[in-house]
Chain A
Amino acid sequence: MNTSTISQPVNRRDFLRLSALASGGLMIGFYINSSGEAQAAESTSGPGGSFAPNAFIRITPDSKITIVSKQPEIGQGIKTSLPMVIAEQLDVDWKDVTIEQADVHDRYGSQSAGGSTSTPNNYENFLRVGATARAVLVEAAAQTWGVPASECTTASGVVTHAKSKRSLKYGQLVAKAVTLPVPDASKVALKDPKDFKLIGRRISGVDNTNLVTGKSLFGIDVRVPNMVYAVFEKCPAFAGKAVSANLDQVKALPGVKDAFIIEGTTNLGGLKSGVAIVADSTWAAISARKQLKVTWDEGKVASTGWDSFAAQAKELSSKPGARVLRKDGDVDAAFKGAAKVVEAEYVYPFISHLSLEPMNCTAHWNNGALELWAPSQNPASGRAMISTVLNIPQEKINIHLTRSGGGFGRRLSADFMVEAAAIAQKVNAPVKLTWTREDDLRHDQMRPGGLHYLKGAVDAKGKLVAWKNNFFTFGNVGQGGQVQPGSGGALSGDEFPGRWVPNYLAEQTVFEANWPMGPWRAPGSCVFAFVVHSFIDELAHAAGRDPLEFRLEILGDKDEMPGTPPAAGAKGPPPAAYNVARMRGVLKAAAEKANWGKKKYPKGQGAGLAFHFSHRGYFAQVAEVTVSKEGQLKVDRVISVGDVGSQIVNPSGADNQVEGSVVDGLSVMMFQELSVERGRVVNANLDEYPMLRMPDAPAKIEVHWLKTANPVTGTGEPAFPPVAPAICNAIFAATGKRIRQFPASRTDLRWS
């Protein structure tokens, strides 16, 4: 396995050479359109006599095989797993392949990594990208030997004609292959999955050697000749305006090259107002910033805070919510006739993404063109924003995509990119903008907090008969002047157990906050699963039922629950069905692996379970915990069973995502909270935003997969949601203490 680091900046000449090479190749096989149209007659040759049948594969006459990875690598392992898919069908050995990170270009189609979509959006196409190239090479061999292509086989980058005992390496076929038409990708034969040699094998990440030896890979590592360094001070209150600053004093400080106000826009996820300091080193810029004094116009947001919104929610909780999301049957009548009724308030705070690599971006404005090096999950959105805000034509914006030190949804936003671009326009040199950790915490696109007022009921048989969720969330004025919930702050009427309970009412009230919010790993699901599966557990215990059996009864016998069609006249496609059979499958498997119901735990120990469907993935988890009499929590084991379709492309990477989700889920549950007061985040740095460390990590995480005959999908998000409720339910089983508020470190878990 060879890899190249993004390393030193791609210099102008290298870039032109790469472009020419790629455009000399043929763009086929990728994003095969619905009519199956493919450009069959074009040449497949790249400069230097290499074979480049599409934008993703290059083979040189000496059999050097390069696979281009187009998706942003943010720690989800996509730079390893998707090239594996191409290599599998190309039929080459992994050790012979070099992976190259793509820059941002239309030739690659979408390069957004969010919503766990990188795998499902590319898997089928990438199988065909590899198979198409293989088909051309086989045809080249067949013509060279004058034999039917159907008699030729491939393996390890070699085409063989067994009958005549002849074989040629792919590189030896390049000269012929470049003269051949590329077949219609939708019609090429694919390798049977039972013959897969690479997909399903544990493969170590392609950047690993470079990572552990400290090579340049990340956005923050980018170094460009004659580069200068910038910091950008924004108003502590969200989207406040810089009125004036002691710029002359700052400009006189050591190492400072310039300091200026950027007016900014009112977009909470875009270019904010603030003061840029440009210096000859990062430290000179950070140092000078300590002397910076800015007069801000903080605006109306400075009168908002979590506490007052939470108090309002409490006051309104007994009244009908602003909007009904779903209403089935009659909850009030059902509560009256029920055997047991349970009420509870569930609360979770705003939290940060806290990608360990702080936001940063390097930009060079030169001759009306902008070159960027960006650790982004969605570079195209950054390009579009820069184009609009700074009035630069999109075709004049060239983006190099770097590895990201964590994403979690944070880098879907482009605020840091547009800031770098705006600063670069005023600086006559390439400039690297680095956010400090304080900037990162104070100016995140936060995961919204929420408050749920729940009421549920079971009948005399202990069956769930009624469920009411009065949900309070946060939003901003969106298009059309309406207040829209922040990303992950919108509850769907179909959110489980909506559709499964005969008497069901979900209501939503959105507080207009004017706070920046954005997608956070499994948006919505990451909090709703905690609320739903904790409350289901409360109801199961109230009914005196086993939590597993109670859940299986709710899921019912039907194999599929259709999505609720949109109201007449509403836009958008009908929602996807919920595959109940797949959920039952993972739930039963997790329970079985945990020996659920058979294992006896002493007081202070217990097991809990939860399941959740999101981002095309079905996951169930069982947690086992020990809580000391002093209230110290130790997660002894988490068993996770996931169903993400028929293949696990790279089990090492997929397992890692689940292991990380478990740790992340526990960390969020136990520790994390942004305190929002006076329209700003008041946590300064990691000392005021604790996160889970190794001693608090679960002792054991067991990852299992059910392979089912379904499309292959992603693992970055769907394993996260059930973690916290499974652990909270285990804590209840162990101690009788119910966690209804995050961070759980606030709940007294002592028992006697």
Chain B
Amino acid sequence: MKYTLNVNGKSHTVDVAPDTPLLWVLRDTLGLVGTKFGCGIGQCSACTVHLNGEPTRACMTRVSSVRNSKVVTIEGLAEESSHLHPLQQAWVDLDVAQCGYCQAGQIMTAAALLRDNPKPSDQEIDGAMADNLCRCGTYLRIREGIKRAAGLAAGKEATQ
């Protein structure tokens, strides 16, 4: 089946089975590999993208259900490709990642949080991020990264 998708502001027509998860359309068909496969059942949130601004698990989203929704992936998060989104910048400044595999999903979830709640409390951060698994255990730096991007006092010194 042919579907026309709006991904990161560009229109793409793809020819895939209707039950294909958006995750695999992004990764295999469009070559946008920043969105990660972790579990396939919406439990790890490594595949988080924005669908009309809402953080959504791409592994559980059939391509046939996307329709006219605007899809934003980690590749399209920054408003200008030459600049990093404040969260991306904070992640680099604080050296948040270890293996880094989950971090695109973490950032996509955090970006929606900060858009709706520019100065979240620790509890609000924990609540918003609870579905995103980080196997390496960088949760404390993720918290700090969100605060730094929000312009809140971040506990850690920046790295170089």
Contact = CB atoms under 8 A, between A and B. Distances in A.
Interface residues of A, number: 70
Contacts of A693: 129-133, 139
B132 to A, nearest CB: 7
A674 to B, nearest CB: 15
A353 to B, nearest CB: 9
A77 interface: yes
Contacts of A357: 36, 38, 99, 101
Q: Do most interface residues of chain B lie in helix, strand or loop, or is the interface mixed?
A: loop
A520 interface: no
A633 B127 CA distance: 17
A480 interface: no
A722 interface: no
A356 B133 CA distance: 9
A213 B140 contact: no
A221 B110 CA distance: 23
A687 B43 contact: yes
B54 interface: no
A317 B31 CA distance: 57
B130 A204 contact: no
Contact of A437 (B29, B39, B126, B139): B39
A686 B39 contact: yes
A542 B78 CA distance: 59
B150 interface: no
Interface string A682-716: 00011100011111011011000000000000000
B97 A694 contact: no
Contacts of A286: 40
B99 A214 contact: no
Interface in B119-141: 125-127, 129-141
A502 interface: no
Contact of A659 (B20, B28, B138): B138
Nearest to B143: A694
A167 interface: no
Interface residues of B, number: 67
B136 to A, nearest CB: 5
A694 B137 CA distance: 9
A223 B125 CA distance: 35
A208 B33 contact: no
A657 B97 CA distance: 10
B107 interface: yes
B117 interface: no
Contact of A205 (B20, B39, B44, B97): B97
B60 interface: no
A275 interface: no
A94 B159 CA distance: 13
Interface in A324-358: 354-358
B102 interface: yes
B140 A697 contact: yes
B104 A214 contact: yes
B65 to A, nearest CB: 15
Given A223-B33, A656-B98, A660-B98, A694 B39 contact: no
Interface stretch (A462-470, A579-587, A662-670): A662-670
Contact of A281 (B29, B73, B136): B29
Contacts of B158: 202
A686 B84 contact: no
Given A405-B99, A660-B136, A695-B127, A686 B32 contact: no
A532 B114 CA distance: 45
B35 A656 contact: no
Interface string B56-93: 00000000000000000111001000001001100111
A166 B11 CA distance: 58
Nearest to B23: A283
A407 to B, nearest CB: 8
Nearest to B38: A356
B118 interface: no
A177 to B, nearest CB: 29
Q: Which of B125, B127, B159 has the most CB of A within 10 A?
A: B159
A218 interface: yes
A75 B98 contact: yes
A282 B24 contact: yes
A657 B39 CA distance: 24
Given A686-B44, A694-B130, A207 B137 contact: no
Per CB-CB distance, the 4 closest pairs between chain A and chain B, nearest first, are A214-B34, A663-B137, A75-B99, A405-B101
Interface of A: 74-77, 94, 201-205, 207-209, 211-218, 220-221, 223, 229, 254-255, 281-284, 286-287, 354-358, 403-407, 434, 436-438, 652-653, 656-657, 659-664, 667, 685-687, 691-695, 697-698, 700-701
Given A692-B137, A693-B139, A700-B140, 19 more contacts: A205-B100, A208-B95, A211-B97, A211-B100, A212-B87, A212-B104, A281-B28, A282-B37, A287-B19, A355-B135, A356-B36, A404-B99, A407-B99, A437-B40, A656-B95, A660-B137, A691-B133, A694-B134, A697-B139
17 contacts: A75-B101, A202-B160, A204-B94, A204-B159, A207-B97, A209-B92, A212-B88, A214-B74, A214-B104, A220-B36, A356-B135, A357-B101, A358-B38, A405-B101, A685-B43, A687-B43, A693-B139
Interface of B: 16-17, 19-21, 24, 27-29, 31-41, 43-44, 46, 73-75, 78, 84, 87-88, 91-104, 107, 125-127, 129-143, 157-160
